[in-house]
Amino acid sequence: MKLRSLMLTVLLTVAVSYYVYTPLPAGLQEQWKLMALDAGFRTTIHLATVSHWLGLDHYITSIRKSIEGFEGLTKALVSSESSGGVIPGVKVSDITFSGVPVRVYEPPAGGEGHLRRGLMFFHGGGWALGSGKKGTYDTINRIVSDELNTVVVSVDYRLFPEVHFPAPYLDCLSAAKHFLSSNVLRKFSVDPERVAVSGDSAGGNLAAAVAQEIATDDSVLVKFSVQALIYPPLQAVDFHTPSYVQNQNVPILPRPLMVQFWLQYLHADPALLPQLLANNHSTPELRSRLDWTAFLPPRYQQDHPRPPVAPPHSAPSLLKAIPALLDVRAAPLLAAPQVLAKCPRAYVLTCEYDVLRDDGLMYARRLKEAGVAVTSDHLENGFHGCFSFISWPLEFSVGHEAVRHYVSWLQNNL
């Protein structure tokens, strides 16, 4: 009996280890912790997919419930002080800007006659998950508000599957215009010369797109003075850039998942996933608008094959099926040089082990060529999502590094 129990234990241990273990690049630190995180995320997706297949719930809704349950359990296990949930003196208000839900963080310093910085933040989550009012986003926005004497506005834009592009973008743009109006800036004692727009991942995409629109809209009198983009997805033209190929299986954003997020956001048929993974949508026209060989630093082009003028099986009809692929509101990297030239000073954080690395690097290069001052901050041991992992039990040293870099840049540039 004891032998059977021992054998069963060994078999279960081997099975769990096999499921959890994922080969990772040597440069990644805290590898087993990242593997455990990835295994948990994969399990959540698998269970949500089964629930969706059985007709019990939409898989995105199931994932949201799982995340909320995990956050609730974590909050119950640790005190608010140790988790960074509360910073004394920061006033928090849940209101709406032009009908869009926002959370406003007001710092304890300042007051009447003392103008403060302003920052609008868009959270990540593949345009489908997350909330600017919960988890690490809430913590980071409290930190920025307190340490930098900043009024932070975190936007809870609508998400997939309830809406698709351009609804999330329009929500963010509407909230941004409201915040930048003179009466609102005056109400919150915000200096109109010191207002930033920021976001991570999908939120970085929205921040870049909104920054472009505000910069070129003459009807908006107050402009963003800086933009801070954390590993943003900026194009769906080429899923075979060096970073998409090199990091295609790296947690927590493998290439198939990122392409799936794009298809969902752009309201495209999910059956097109294999076509986009094969880059069959990448026609000569698309290649002419975005050629990574012209924008990436040489170190990222070494040992990576140059893309052909068009893939052997390219299908121009895919452009008709997904017209938003060429919409700069969805793909800010495709914006014209004259648009980029009007954009505010930029901070672009990229991670070495991230499929989106090259999107950020190319955008930084294009902004610089257009005459915009850019700080390109690259984390050599970073992975996608690390910005959000600064609290127990999902805490990584590179996450703290990313947040400190972000806060320090805002301190010195906003």
68 and 133 in contact (C-beta within 8 Å)? no
394-395/345-353 β-pairing = unpaired
Q: Give the bridge partners for 94, in sequence order.
A: 103
Taking the CA atoms of 26, 30, 32 and 37 in sequence, report the sign of the dihedral they define.
negative
* 3-state SS track over 180-229: HCHHHHHHCCEEEEEEEEEEECHHHHHHHHHHHHHHHCCCCCCCCCEEEE
How many CB atoms within 10 Å of residue 118? 27
Find all residues with CB under 8 Å of 231, minimum gap 6, and list them: 200, 201, 204, 349, 350, 351, 354, 356, 357, 360, 382, 384, 387
d(CA 359, CA 337) in angstroms, rounded, equals 16
Buried b (16+ CB within 10 A) or exposed e, 367-395: beebebebbbbebebbbbbbbbbbbeebe
The conformation of residue 354, written as its DSSP 8-state character, comes to -
Token duo for residue 324:
């938003």
The residues that are catalytic are 201, 354, 384
Omega before 101 cis (within 30°)?
Answer: no
226 and 409 in contact (C-beta within 8 Å)? no
Buried b (16+ CB within 10 A) or exposed e, 53-76: eeeeeebbbbbbebbeeebeeeee
